[in-house]
Amino acid sequence: MSQLSAANEMAESLRRYLEDSQLIPKDSKVLVGVSGGADSTCLLHLLHALGYEVVAAHLHHGQRAEGADEQRRVRQFCESLGVAVAEGYADVPAIAKLHGIGVEEAGRRARYEFFEQAANRLGCELIATAHTRSDTAETVLFHLARGSGLSGVTGIPERRGTIVRPLLRFSRQQTIAYCQELGFEIAEDPSNKDLSLSRARIRHRVLPELEKAHPGAEASIARFAESARVDLEFLDSVAAAALDHCAHDPNGPLSFLTEDCEIVLARSRLLHLHESTLRRGTRMAVQALGGDLDQPLVSQLLQAIRTQPKASFTSLGGDVVVECEGDWVHFQKARIDTFDRQPIEAPGETESPLWNWRMEIREEAAPETQPRDSLTCWLDPSKVSNGLYARTLLPGERGQPLGFEGSRKLTDLIAEAKLTRAARKRIPVICDMIGPVWIPGVCLMDRAAARERIERSWRTFFGPYGSNNRRTAETTRSTET
């Protein structure tokens, strides 16, 4: 078989795969990350040759003097294909120093950030990177050596959001042969041969030895990664169902205020889970809030859940705090944003999509009695001074709740409602120019409450933001009247 037929065979194999999988729909505009190496050069040429609409993107990492020459070669290669190229620059060493991370990780972050910005600017639906089967094998071995769990040996995902990796079924040897056959000039990053780096040592020492001992080891490792990925998907689904079973909703009807910043689980139910499900579930809870736990932290947390009545942990990077107290394990973002003052339309609708709530105020007759801690109340508009607005609770604030004698601290009333700390930070206080009028789900102030079926009152509903709110509001009204 000739060298030319080998390149054609690779192109035909990729064409069939992309048509069958629809990894890249034919009408998509694709941004291709191009470093100038064999893998990315091969990918750009293949996608262009197969008729996809492509744009190249190259980021100068600011690390080596050769970077400018590589950028020039990428530009010339793209010009020869008639492909537009987006170019960028990042001071990767400075980024690494600023964030306290390795240069390799800093470069990866800078590349993906640049790719996403370029894709948005150029109207590309997908971003294609040139990871190969060889990268999958190296990644699996790297994570195994570090003691990773199953999630670390699933290799590199074929798709993650808008990022696709079409070459995961091909080896690096195939991309090199493709470029050599077609006479493409390719660059080689010196760091790829720096044996002081773990990945380079795996690439040039470990994998070649494995191939000698077990021919086809690279392909076998890639198959193992795919098998692990399938198993992981099942285990994750089991863990997700278990989390739902263990979930506790301490904020009741106000839970929508904090669904983006806290998760509360019942310790007694967690203790009945299999070890694998418990490990996976607790880590999934932290990840759902934007944090992560490594294996040692997971082990410490599980020990605390089993044996310590009260304990506290912080996720990697300090993004999530986990607290064990009594029968509850509370996962909460370390930093919970609160909203600024927001005017309320009365009558009318007010939506706060960022904080996931809405209010609806309608004019109608007041009922004979009204609940004190509902998400619906009736206000007397004649007792509301200069309109309504929402804000957070102020320190030391007081008010007289409906049905109480004298004023009380609002913090005490909220504490009696047994809301979580996150909910106490997020719950809006509805005010007029005099002060608090209503705290939804907690208390209505006596001074503004509509009395004994007055003909004109403001029926005020507070609920979650979203498409079902109107239906929720109508259901609440029908059950309360």
User: Does 161 show up as a binding residue in the annotation?
Assistant: no
φ/ψ (deg, to 5) at 89: -135, 140
37 is in an annotated binding site: yes
- On whether 39 is known to bind a ligand per the annotation, the reply is yes
Is 40 assigned a ligand-binding role in the annotation? yes
Alpha carbon distance 187, 193 (integer Å): 13
Contact predicate 62/89, CB 8 Å: yes
Specify the DSSP class assigned to residue 360: E
DSSP 428: P
User: What tokens does 90 get?
Assistant: 């990042």
DSSP of 103-121: HHHHHHHHHHHHHHHHHHH
CB 372 within 8 A of CB 378: no
CA–chain centroid gap for 421, Å, is 23
Structure tokens of 378? Answer: 């009736």
State both tokens at 163.
């990022």
Q: Is 244 exposed, middle or buried, given 0-12, 13-18 or 19+ CB atoms closer than 10 A?
A: exposed
Which amino acid is it at 323?
E
CB 119 within 8 A of CB 38: no
**DSSP string of 371-413, one letter each residue:** -SSSSEEEE-GGG--S-EEEEPPPTT-EE-BTT-SS-EEHHHH
For residue 13, the surrounding DSSP H or E stretch is helix 3-21
What is the DSSP track for 188-223?
--GGGG-TTSHHHHIIIIIHHHHHHHSTTHHHHHHH
123 is in an annotated binding site: no
Which run of H or E residues covers position 313?
strand 310-314
Residues in the chain: 481
User: Residue 451 corresponds to which amino acid?
Assistant: R
466: amino acid identity, one letter: G
Strand-pair category, 348-352 with 320-325 = unpaired
For 410, residues 6+ apart whose C-beta sits below 8 A from its C-beta are: 393, 397, 398, 399, 429, 436, 439
Q: Residue 248, SS3?
A: coil
- 7 annotated ligand binder: no
Binding residue numbers for ATP: 35-40
Binding residue numbers: 35-40
